[in-house]
Amino acid sequence: MELILDYPAHTAWVTAFGLALGLVVGSFLNVVIGRFPVMMQRQWQKECAEVSGITPEAQDKFNLATPGSHCPTCKTAIKWYDNIPVISWLVLKAKCRACHTKISARYPAIELLTGVIFATVVWQLGFTFTTFVYLWLACLLISMFFIDADHMLLPDQMTYLMLWTGLGFAIYSGHIPLQDAVIGAMAGYLALWSVYWAFKLLTGKEGMGYGDFKLLAAFGAWHGYQMLPVTVIASAASGAVIGIIWQQINRNKQGQPIPFGPFLICGGVIAMLWGEELLSSYLNWVHG
């Protein structure tokens, strides 16, 4: 696949640029993670009011760009030099310049995570169309991971984007046959849909949300139906390990539901990176 720019893979300059780009994009993802659920809630409230024949209450404009970055405690606007990814957090010693409220370490952590992922992808692929497709996928997965962890919510706007991008990429790149991608999307949705209804009929409770079905369908579109078992098993394994640790840390919150989306994302990424090797090793073990 031809390079978009004259910078091939496995070069220092390309990797450094990928890291810098990822840090900037990670700063934007912090905004998406924090604001998108609020935007959705406001939209739901507006729609409910309209259906009920009630005039929606006037609200200040709120989206990913407005209002500008500000301290949630003192509402002071954040200057550009206090909004440099990671560096500003370190310089300010994790405190707001105006009111000295502590700034969560999660903000620079998400920036660093995005930067490392971007640098790794660019290091492996250089600047190609495929590179930007995978960077787009990384942005969606990071956003969904933290939104679901915070709100137990997987936005349709993101799961559907991931699904359709996966199908479109299968057509463009041919990394998997389109038929496998379509079957993967169908099987991924139906697999968790079946588990959901079986669990609900047996217990009368809901064990997961519809967003989980759509997310597994999206992974099926990206890596085909063959990797779905690896995705589910890896998700369950990561969920079991992290779930036990979570319960030990939060013993006073026993019985509190834990979102499955982050574990499903972990399982899906494992399947995309090492699924073929894991499946091959398992089949060799079974057949001796």
Mean pLDDT of 86-113: 95
Q: What is the pLDDT of residue 252?
A: 58
Residue 199 amino acid letter: F
Q: What is the pLDDT of residue 288?
A: 64
Give the whole-number percent of the chain exceeding pLDDT 70. 94
Provide the pLDDT confidence category of residue 84 given band limits of 50, 70 and 90. Answer: very high
Provide the pLDDT confidence category of residue 4 given band limits of 50, 70 and 90. Answer: low
Residue 197 in this model has a pLDDT that exceeds 60? yes
Provide the pLDDT confidence category of residue 93 given band limits of 50, 70 and 90. Answer: very high
Between the ranges 151-160, 243-252, 257-266, where is the mean pLDDT highest?
Answer: 151-160
Distance CA 61, CA 43 (A): 12
Q: What is the pLDDT of residue 239?
A: 84
Among 135-149, 192-206, 251-265, the range scoring the smallest mean pLDDT is 251-265
Residue 208 in this model has a pLDDT that exceeds 90? no
Mean pLDDT of the chain: 90
Backbone angles phi, psi at 3, to 5 degrees: -75, 145
DSSP state of 53: T
Residue 220 exposure: Cα atoms within 13 Å on the Cβ side: 24
Mean pLDDT of 273-279: 87
Which candidate, 282, 280, 283, 246, places its Cα nearest to that of 262? 246
Q: Which sequence spans correspond to the domains of the chain?
A: 1-151, 176-288
Residue 207 amino acid letter: G
Which candidate, 26, 25, 43, places its Cα nearest to that of 157? 43
Mean pLDDT of 86-100: 94
Residue 271 in this model has a pLDDT that exceeds 70? yes
Return the higher-pLDDT residue of 137 and 258: 137
Mean pLDDT of 114-121: 96
- Burial label for 52, CB within 10 Å (0-12, 13-18, 19+), is exposed
Mean pLDDT of 158-164: 97
Residue 1 in this model has a pLDDT that exceeds 60? no
pLDDT tens readout for residues 37-75: 999 999 988 888 888 888 777 788 889 999 899 898 898
Distance CA 18, CA 163 (A): 25
Residue 6 in this model has a pLDDT that exceeds 60? no
Among 113-127, 146-160, 199-213, the range scoring the smallest mean pLDDT is 199-213
Residue 95 in this model has a pLDDT that exceeds 70? yes
Output the six-digit token pair for 117: 């992922």
